[in-house]
Chains A and B, each alone.
Chain A
C-alpha cells in the first residue's frame, strides 16, 4: 500500500510537466490541425538552453524559463512561418507530419553538433533535497516542477479564455471561415499559436532537464509519450492533455513502484489502447470542432 501511494504521489507530480509539454502539442493541433512531431525535440532544446544558462551563467533553471520561453517562442513562430504557412490547407495535415519530423531531425542535428550526444543533467544544489510527509518522500525538484507546471497551465488558461488573442485562437479553431470574416488573420494566429506551443515546450524542457538526464536523441522517447497523452485526452483539448498526462504518468509510476520498472513504460500504451477501444476520440475529444 505504501508503494502504491508513493507511486501515485510521484506520478501526479511528474504529470504536471508532461501536461505542460502536451498542452503545447494539443494547442498546435487545435489551431492548425498539425500534429507537431518536433514538440519533443523542442522540449529537449529547451532543456539544453536551460542547461547552458545554468553551466555558463549559474542561472537557476526555474529562473531561466522566461529567457528560454522567449527564444523558443521566436523559433516556433519562425518554423510555422517558414515551413508550415506555405502548405496548402488541404495538404496541411498530411505534409505537416513530414515537415515537423524534418524539423525535429534538424533540431536534433543542431543539438548533437552543439552539445554532442553525451547525456547531460542539470544538477542544482537542491537537486537531491526531499521532504518526508507521513512517511512518503516528496522530492523538492518534483514539487517545484509540479507547481511551476500548474502556474504555466493556469497562465495558458487565462491567455486562451480572457484575452483578445485567446478569443482569436479559439475562434480560429472552431470556425476558421467565420473568424476570417471577423477580421481574424488565421496565418498570424497560427504563427503565434505555434510559438506558444514551442514556448510551453521550453518551460517544460527546463523542468525536464532537472528531473531526467537527456541527450539529443531523447526526443524520440518523449514524442511517443506526448502523442499518447494527447490522443488519450482527445486531440485539441488542453483539459484532455492534462488528464491524459495524469493517467499516463500516474499509471507508469504506480506500476514501477508496485510491479516492476520494466513494465512501467508500456503501461500507458496498454491504457491508451484500452481507452481508444471504448472511446476512439479520446477522453475529452468531441466530434464538434475543438473547445480547447
Chain B
C-alpha cells in the first residue's frame, strides 16, 4: 500500500538535546499504526513533529509526497492532518456543541461546517445527547468520544492520537479502540501512540517500536503481539 506519510531520518528535540535521533517510518493510507516504546523514547515527539508543534532539526516529513517542513500547524491542518494531544484537549467550560464547532474553526463555509458537525454527531451519538452540557462535566470516556467526534469535523485524512486510552476505565478504553477502528473503516489513516501497548497493537494493523529516539522494529500489530522480545519488554508479560 502506498504510504500516505513518510518520515525520513527525523532528528528533533527540545532545548539543546535531541529526543528523536533519526526516525524512519512509513504509514500506509487507511491503516491504523500504533507506536509503542518506553517512557521518554520520543513517541509524543514524533506526533508533534508531524503536526507542526515541533520543528525537526533534520530530516524530512512527506504527506502525500508533499514536504511538510516549513508548513505551520494550521497549514498541516488544512492538508487533513489532525493531532489529538495526550492531555484532555476539550475546552472544559464550553458546551459539547461549541467544542464541535470550534473543531471546525478553519472552515469558513457555515453550511459545510454544519454538515460536518451533523456527520460527527451521527458517528458519535453521545455528542447529541450531551450537546448543551459543559465538556468538562463529562466522564473521561465520554470526553474522549467528543474529542474523536471533533476530529471528524475537519474530515481528516490522517489522525494523530496521543495516548487515547490514558486515564480511562477498561470499558471506556474498549470503546475508544472500537471508535479508532471505526475511523479507519471510513478510510482515514490513524497513527496512535499508546502506553497500553497490548490494547493499542490489538486495535492496529501495524505497530512500530520506538526506542531511544529510533524506530527499532516495524511489523503488523499481530506479529508484534506474538514477538517474545516485544512481549517481555513492552507488553508486561510473555507474548500470547
Which residues of A line the B interface, CB within 8 A? 164, 167-168, 170-171, 174-175, 177-185, 288-292
Q: In the complex, A177 Cα to B84 Cα: how many Å? A: 10
A65–chain B nearest beta-carbon distance, Å: 29
B96–chain A nearest beta-carbon distance, Å: 13
Q: In the complex, A292 Cα to B134 Cα: how many Å? A: 13
Return the chain B residue nearest A166 by Cβ: B98
Q: Which of B73, B74, B78, B92 contacts A174 (CB 8 A)?
A: B92
Q: In the complex, A179 Cα to B78 Cα: how many Å? A: 15
A180 in contact with B93 given A167-B105, A168-B105 (CB within 8 Å):
no
Q: Check B73–A171 contact: CB distance below 8 A.
A: no
Q: In the complex, A290 Cα to B73 Cα: how many Å? A: 25
Q: Check A175–B89 contact: CB distance below 8 A.
A: yes
Which residues of A sit under 8 angstroms from B101, Cβ to Cβ? 164, 167
A11–chain B nearest beta-carbon distance, Å: 30
Q: Check B98–A288 contact: CB distance below 8 A.
A: no
B157–chain A nearest beta-carbon distance, Å: 15
Q: Check B91–A181 contact: CB distance below 8 A.
A: no
A174 in contact with B106 given A181-B51, A182-B77, A288-B136 (CB within 8 Å):
no
Which residues of A sit under 8 angstroms from B106, Cβ to Cβ? 182-183
Return the chain B residue nearest A292 by Cβ: B93
Besides A178-B89, A184-B102, 18 other A-B contacts (C-beta < 8 A): A170-B93, A174-B92, A174-B94, A175-B92, A177-B89, A178-B90, A180-B53, A180-B73, A181-B51, A181-B53, A181-B77, A181-B83, A182-B103, A182-B105, A182-B106, A184-B105, A288-B136, A289-B93
Sample of 9 A–B contacts (CB below 8 Å): A167-B94, A168-B102, A170-B98, A171-B105, A175-B90, A178-B85, A178-B89, A181-B89, A183-B105
Those of B58-104 within 8 Å (CB) of chain A: 73-74, 77-78, 82-85, 89-94, 98, 101-103
A31–chain B nearest beta-carbon distance, Å: 13
Q: Check B91–A175 contact: CB distance below 8 A.
A: yes
Q: Which of A174, A180, A183, A185 contacts B91 (CB 8 A)?
A: A174
Q: Which of A168, A178, A288 contacts B93 (CB 8 A)?
A: A288
Q: In the complex, A291 Cα to B136 Cα: how many Å? A: 11
Q: In the complex, A148 Cα to B108 Cα: how many Å? A: 32
Closest 5 CB pairs of A and B: A291-B93, A178-B89, A183-B106, A174-B91, A183-B74
Q: In the complex, A126 Cα to B97 Cα: how many Å? A: 47
Which residues of B sit under 8 angstroms from A184, Cβ to Cβ? 102, 105
Q: How many A-B residue pairs have CB under 8 A?
A: 67
Q: In the complex, A170 Cα to B99 Cα: how many Å? A: 10
Which residues of A sit under 8 angstroms from B92, Cβ to Cβ? 174-175, 288-289
B79–chain A nearest beta-carbon distance, Å: 12
Return the chain A residue nearest B82 by Cβ: A181
Q: In the complex, A263 Cα to B53 Cα: how many Å? A: 55
* Centre residue among A164, A178, A179, A185 by max chain B CB count within 10 A: A178
Q: Check B94–A183 contact: CB distance below 8 A.
A: no
Which residues of A sit under 8 angstroms from B105, Cβ to Cβ? 164, 167-168, 171, 182-184
Which residues of B sit under 8 angstroms from A290, Cβ to Cβ? 93
Which residues of A sit under 8 angstroms from B85, Cβ to Cβ? 177-178, 181
Which residues of B sit under 8 angstroms from A291, Cβ to Cβ? 93
Return the chain B residue nearest A177 by Cβ: B85
Q: In the complex, A278 Cα to B129 Cα: how many Å? A: 38
Q: In the complex, A180 Cα to B53 Cα: how many Å? A: 9
* Centre residue among A164, A170, A290 by max chain B CB count within 10 A: A164
Q: In the complex, A167 Cα to B85 Cα: how many Å? A: 20
Interface string of B46-59 (1 = CB under 8 A from A): 00000101000000
Return the chain A residue nearest B99 by Cβ: A171
Q: In the complex, A164 Cα to B108 Cα: how many Å? A: 9
Q: Check B51–A171 contact: CB distance below 8 A.
A: no
Which residues of B sit under 8 angstroms from A164, Cβ to Cβ? 101, 105
Q: Check A171–B53 contact: CB distance below 8 A.
A: no
Q: Check B91–A171 contact: CB distance below 8 A.
A: yes
Which residues of B sit under 8 angstroms from A181, Cβ to Cβ? 51, 53, 73, 77, 82-85, 89
Q: In the complex, A290 Cα to B134 Cα: how many Å? A: 13
A282–chain B nearest beta-carbon distance, Å: 16
A32–chain B nearest beta-carbon distance, Å: 17
Q: Check B102–A167 contact: CB distance below 8 A.
A: yes
